[in-house]
Chain A
Amino acid sequence: MGPETQGFVSPPRHHYWKITLVALAVTCAVAGGLYYLARLYVINEAERNIEAVLLAHKGMHRYIQEVMHPAFYKLKAEGMVAEKFYAPEILSSSFIVRNQHKAYNEERKAAGLEEVYYKMAAFNPRNPVNKADAMEEKLIRMFNENKELKNYREIVRIDGKDYLYVALPFLVNKPKCLKCHGDREDAPLGLQLLYPGQGGFNEKVGDIRAIESIRAPMEQQYFVIYILFASSFAGLLVLAGLLFFNTRLRDMVRVRTQALAQEVVERRRAEEEVRRANEELEDRVEERTAQIAAANKELDSFAYSVSHDLRAPLRGIDGFSLALLEDYGERLDETAKDYISRVRAGCLRMGDLIDDMLQLSRLSRGEIHRQEVDLSAMASEIAGELQRGAPQRRVVFEITPGITVAGDVILLRAVLDNLLGNAWKFTAKTEGARITFGRQEEGGKEVLFVRDNGAGFDMAYANKLFGAFQRLHSTQEFEGTGIGLATVQRIIHRHGGSIRAEGAVGRGATFYFSV
């Protein structure tokens, strides 16, 4: 067996882990990309939150300084407010904003949102809650050292949660700021009374006094990332599944295709074998045909030499017996003459046997030339010949007209010659002899028959009727060689038909045959 015909083709498994790797890599890349985008989005969201808060604060500061304070100072100038009056709830914008933010956070909380940390961080605040922590101090210094810097941004992690932290420089001290933040002695008395320490004083113009330190939660925004992650992962899973399924399908198709190809190869081989077997058969048939042809040829020459070489001596025996009788008859007694006539009778019978045998062999050979033959007409013709041969006999012929078959006209003539001749012969001693040629249905098939009411035969010997040289009557009773029915049967068989006989002693015989 060649390599293309090995059994099953196992699907290559290495494909699957390759696919898995590729799917994983793609998943990671996409997930990374998505994460990055989502994070950008979340940070952006947080920044915007912070910006919104800061803008609100800025607006608040402006309102305090541009609307509220001028109105207050006007009242004070008009003497409506005591000169030493000071209340941070009205005069400290950072106090107001801080408490406003506190209230804002409380509202956020009530709305289910996380708080936004906010602190006005300073080195030296009046209120200790505004005292900068270590990091804020560092940032204040940084902003002071580099005035160009407008903000600082960082993502910080507190208690496992991410926050966006932003620091902005608050105000650069202006001269009017020093009214309350300059030397303690220059500050309003109310202020001095309220804040006994140095907190919030001794600021210098141009310095950044504080930073806004703000921290917005990002955790809730991560929700978006989770959703994105989940959906992209699900999508990728589907894709990977499809890829896997596709590969499996392709493998299956490949395996099936290979199996089919193998089958095709096997079919071809089988066809080739059949073809070879056919060729061999044809060769053998040719060989056999040649052998048969040779055998036939041999048979022909055998029959030929039989016809010549067996008959010639017979003619000698007969001729010289007769010569003996004619030339020396007067010297022979009656017994001797009887013997000589017996010798001659034997010769003639032998001659007839040889002739019949030759006819049988000749009819068995040669090709059958089929044509439409009118058997009824042929039977009538034979009946006429028989009648002319023995005009003294009274025989009634009943011949059904229009019986035609496809067959060899010469061979079928021999069949009817024999069957009608037999009927004629075996009715020789019958009163009211009647010979019928007709047809009948048997199992849906047409069967022809020749019937007579003559000597008949014993059904016990029915199977012997068709054997060559088989006779059921002595030659004294009915002459004949016993070749006729053998010839008939052989011709019928050569036409693909069958023949059988029915009869009873003294009650005639019927020969049924089909062609």
Chain B
Amino acid sequence: MRTNMILLVEDNPDDEALTLRALKKNNILNEVIVARDGAEALDFLFGTGSYTGRDLGIMPEVILLDINLPKINGLEVLGKIRATERTRLLPVVILTTSNEEQDKLKSYTLGANSFIRKPVDFQQFSEAIRQLGVYWLLLNQAPPLVKG
């Protein structure tokens, strides 16, 4: 079932608030699930931990994934998503402060669909979120759901 849901994986509450604000300001009103670390994100996607029993037929339209995360970092999360049959086709946008070549290289190698660097300037950040929303939620045709 498609709900146009967004999974935001972000440990920084400020960034979380700013991202949500940017989404709201750009009239992107889709449901946003926030996971505060990599483990929580994986729990949500695989229906484990606090998400045990969740309907796994519902998957996010796009995953906004930070790299620098507590417990399990973003790249590991990406690796697990791509390694799991049910989640391997989900669009994953790396949304990070990092500008490191290594991070870009690893992200794309692991199968990220996009790599966005969060600008310091909120106006620019907001614009980036707007474009993300337009592209991934409106323009982009999501892959068919994979039955688990």
**A-side interface residues toward B, CB under 8 Å?**
304, 307-308, 311-316, 318-323, 344, 347-348, 350-351, 355, 358, 362
State whether B100 touches A316 (Cβ < 8 A).
no
Q: Tell whether, in the assembled complex, residue A304 and residue B15 are in contact, meaning their CB atoms are under 8 Å apart.
A: no
B99 touches A315 (CB 8 A): no
- 6 contacting pairs across A/B (C-beta < 8 A): A315-B14, A319-B17, A323-B18, A348-B120, A351-B121, A358-B99
Instruction: Return chain B residues, CB-CB under 8 Å to A351.
Output: 119-121
**Chain B contacts with A in 19-38, Cβ cutoff 8 A:** 21
Partner of A316 from the list B15, B98, B101, B119 (CB cut-off 8 Å) is B15
Contact of B15 among A315, A344, A348, A358 (CB under 8 A): A315
Interface membership of B3, Cβ < 8 A: no
Residues of B within 8 A of A358 (CB): 99
Candidates B68, B100, B118; contact of A315 at CB < 8 Å: B118
Number of chain B interface residues as a range: 20 to 34
Best-surrounded residue of B12, B21, B122 (most CB of chain A within 10 A):
B122
Find out whether the CB atom of A323 lies under 8 angstroms from the CB atom of B120.
Answer: no
Is B97 an interface residue, CB under 8 A from the partner? yes
Q: Please list the 10 inter-chain residue pairs (A to B) with the smallest Cβ-Cβ separation, ordered nearest first.
A: A351-B120, A316-B14, A319-B122, A319-B18, A322-B122, A308-B97, A314-B120, A311-B97, A318-B122, A308-B68
Contact partners of A320 in chain B: CB under 8 A: 14, 17-18
> Are A308 and B15 within 8 A (Cβ)?
no
Contact of A307 among B15, B17, B97 (CB under 8 A): B97
Given known contacts A308-B68, A320-B14, A315 and B97 CB-to-CB distance under 8 angstroms: yes
A304 & B98 in contact (Cβ 8 Å cutoff) = yes
Q: Specify which chain A residues have a CB less than 8 angstroms from the CB of B17 in the assembled complex.
A: 319-320
Which A residues touch B68, using CB under 8 A? Answer: 308
1/0 per residue B96-130: CB within 8 Å of A?
Answer: 11111100000000000000001111110100000
Q: In the complex, what distance in Å separates the CA atom of A289 from the CA atom of B117?
A: 33
Query: Out of A308, A311, A362, which one reaches B120, CB within 8 Å?
Result: A311
**Separation in Å of the B71 CB from the closest CB of chain A?**
16
Bound-complex Cα distance A132 to B18 (A): 168
For the complex formed, measure the closest distance between the CB of A314 and the CB atoms of chain B, giving whole angstroms.
5
Judge whether B18 and A308 touch: CB under 8 Å.
no
* Chain A residues within 8 Å of B101, by CB: 362
- Check if A304 sits within 8 Å of B100, measured CB to CB: yes
A359 nearest CB neighbor, chain B only: B99
Contact A347 B120 (CB under 8 A): yes
Contact call B118/A307, Cβ cutoff below 8 A: no
Expressed in whole angstroms, the minimum distance between the Cβ of A160 and any Cβ of chain B is 122
| A320 CA to B121 CA, complexed, in Å | 11
Q: Is the CB of A315 within 8 A of B18?
A: yes
A321 to chain B, nearest CB (A): 8
How far is B12's CA from A200's CA once the two chains are assembled, in angstroms?
A: 172
Tell me how far the C-beta of A304 lies from the nearest C-beta in chain B, rounded to whole angstroms: 6
**Complex Cα–Cα for A319 and B97 (A):** 14
Q: Known pairs A315-B120, A316-B15, A358-B99; list 4 more (Cβ under 8 Å).
A: A311-B118, A322-B122, A347-B120, A348-B121
